[in-house]
């Protein structure tokens, strides 16, 4: 499905279920396919909406690219669908976008699920690494980026036992338009530090991630949860950075519990 935003941009998305809106925001370099297991498994708990950010999947490839712009697009997306508030669930890049939504569109955020993400900005070293990735994509395309990032995205258990996850992830990574990926790399390099806003988060928050995540390791997730008043932390065994794809049932179980508690409030 696609919806046209007021500025003419088209966002592609998938949707399943009914009830409380759950906005699923993918990471880098992914698309809404990251959330296939959640659309299948959480649709009995929520209206699951999984858009492709601008420049990804089937959405329009058009700048400018920034966390603020991605967040504004998602606010327009919810507006276009007539949704006044949503539980915003972002994985990694999706988490950076969730922080921007909180800064710019707090009234739209009913609750937060922060998956395998961090509040801190890029270090100088990370920025240099991203500049090298931009050059790699310009020179050799998305296949080269996928070859560089694929195995590090999953945990050692997935590497050993679930090769089909790598196939799906490779397909998703290589399908991302190169210009969109380059735009996102610049946007991530320039993203602000969201640490100071953590203590002011006033909505129910679940922090969740894989025990085997080497990109946002458990210590990062513990620190993130520790800085958000009243938040809950769930670390999932046997998976890495793309926990919702690697262990969809375990991921869905903790998110379903979080949604049920919200509805009981
Ligand atoms: C992601 O999964 O979105 C990336 O790891 C984010 C990043 O590169 O900072």
Q: Does the beta carbon of 216 lie inside 6 Å of ligand 1?
A: no
The beta strand positions in the chain, using DSSP E, are: 2-4, 10-16, 21-25, 47-51, 86-91, 109-115, 205-210, 232-236
Distance of CA 262 from the midpoint of ligand 1 (Å): 28
pLDDT of residue 137: 98
Atom nearest to 94 CA in ligand 1: 3
pLDDT of residue 264: 83
pLDDT band at 3 (very low <50, low <70, confident <90, very high): very high
| Average pLDDT value for the chain | 98
Q: pLDDT tens across 37-47, in order?
A: 999 999 999 99
Q: What is the mean pLDDT of residues 108-124?
A: 98
Across the beta sheet with 232-236, the strand order is: 2-4, 10-16, 47-51, 21-25, 86-91, 109-115, 205-210, 232-236
pLDDT of residue 265: 73
Q: Does the beta carbon of 188 lie inside 6 Å of ligand 1?
A: yes
Name the pTM for this structure: 0.98
pLDDT of residue 79: 98
């Amino acid at each position: 499905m696609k919806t046209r935003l007021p500025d003419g941009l088209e966002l592609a998305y998938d949707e399943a279920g009914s009830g409380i809106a759950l906005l699923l925001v993918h990471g880098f370099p992914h698309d809404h396919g990251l959330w296939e297991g959640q659309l299948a498994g959480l649709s009995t708990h929520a209206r699951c909406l999984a858009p492709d950010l601008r420049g990804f999947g089937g959405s329009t490839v058009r700048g400018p690219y920034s966390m603020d712009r991605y967040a504004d697009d998602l606010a327009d997306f919810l507006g276009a669908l007539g949704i006044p508030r949503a539980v915003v669930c972002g994985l990694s890049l999706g988490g950076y976008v969730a922080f921007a939504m909180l800064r710019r569109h707090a009234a739209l955020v009913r609750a937060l699920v922060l998956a395998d993400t961090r509040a801190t900005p890029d270090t100088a070293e990370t920025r240099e690494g991203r500049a090298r990735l931009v050059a790699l994509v310009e020179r050799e395309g998305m296949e080269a980026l996928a070859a560089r990032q694929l195995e590090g995205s999953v945990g050692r258990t997935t590497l050993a036992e679930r090769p089909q996850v790598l196939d799906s992830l490779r397909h998703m990574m290589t399908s991302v338009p190169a210009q969109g990926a380059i735009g996102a790399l610049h946007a991530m390099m320039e993203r602000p530090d969201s640490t100071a806003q953590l203590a002011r988060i006033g909505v129910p928050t679940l922090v969740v991630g894989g025990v085997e995540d080497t990109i946002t390791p458990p210590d990062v997730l513990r620190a993130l949860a520790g800085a958000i008043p009243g938040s809950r932390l769930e670390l999932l065994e046997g998976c890495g950075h793309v926990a919702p794809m690697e262990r969809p049932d375990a991921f869905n179980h903790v998110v379903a519990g979080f949604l049920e508690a919200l509805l009981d409030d």
